[in-house]
């Protein structure tokens, strides 16, 4: 856990309400500033700054994160209609919180390309 990381605190249950989903490895919670009717963030419980800092030992964890997003999309009833998974990475990627996370966005027709 990184002491000054907001997402580490959410994973540890120190701030925020009860997560949408949590297991030993990952936590999912609603984005505080939703950009779509469904906007969930999925994070590894361990502090990884971004995809750039993930390594081979995180391979199963990253797969689990993605499959958990699919399960949540199904549970929230948006799987068939479609959704988007996004991992903003670094300055040009628009990353603002430096604890690796996936955005699960759904519930409206999302445009492409992103801004
Ligand atoms: P990024 O810009 O790094 O890809 O995404 C960070 C996301 O975290 C943003 O969508 C922002 O709204 C969300 N966020 C930032 N702080 C908090 C917080 O304290 N709680 C929750 N639930 N979401 C947060
Ligand atoms: Zn963290």
Tell me the per-residue pLDDT of 65-84, one tens digit each, with 9 for 90 and over.
Answer: 999 999 999 999 999 999 99
Mutate to test the pocket of ligand 1, among 40, 41, 92 (most ligand atoms within 8 A of CB): 41
H or E segment to which residue 105 belongs: strand 102-106
Q: Is 96 in the pocket of ligand 1 (CB under 6 A)?
A: yes
Q: What is the pLDDT of residue 93?
A: 98
Q: Where are the domains of the chain?
A: 6-106
| pLDDT score, position 66 | 98
Tens digits of per-residue pLDDT, 87-108?
999 999 999 999 999 999 999 9
Q: What is the pTM of this model?
A: 0.97
Decide whether any atom of ligand 1 lies within 6 Å of the 27 Cβ.
Answer: no
Nearest protein CA to atom 18 of ligand 1, as residue: 32
Cβ of 29 closer than 6 Å to ligand 1, yes or no, is yes
- What is the structure's pLDDT at 104? 98
SS3 13: coil
Superfamily of domain 6-106: HIT-like (3.30.428.10)
User: What pLDDT does residue 1 have?
Assistant: 78
């Amino acid at each position: 856990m990184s002491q000054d990381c907001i997402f580490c605190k959410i994973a540890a249950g120190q701030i925020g309400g009860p997560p949408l989903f949590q297991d030993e490895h990952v936590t999912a919670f609603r984005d505080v500033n939703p950009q779509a009717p469904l906007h969930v963030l999925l994070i590894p419980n361990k502090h990884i700054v971004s995809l750039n800092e993930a390594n081979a030992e995180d391979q199963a964890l990253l797969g689990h994160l993605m499959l958990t997003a699919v399960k949540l999309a199904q549970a929230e009833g948006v799987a068939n209609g479609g959704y988007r998974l996004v991992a903003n990475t670094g300055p040009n990627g628009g990353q603002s919180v430096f604890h690796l996370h996936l955005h699960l966005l759904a519930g409206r027709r999302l445009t492409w390309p992103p801004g």
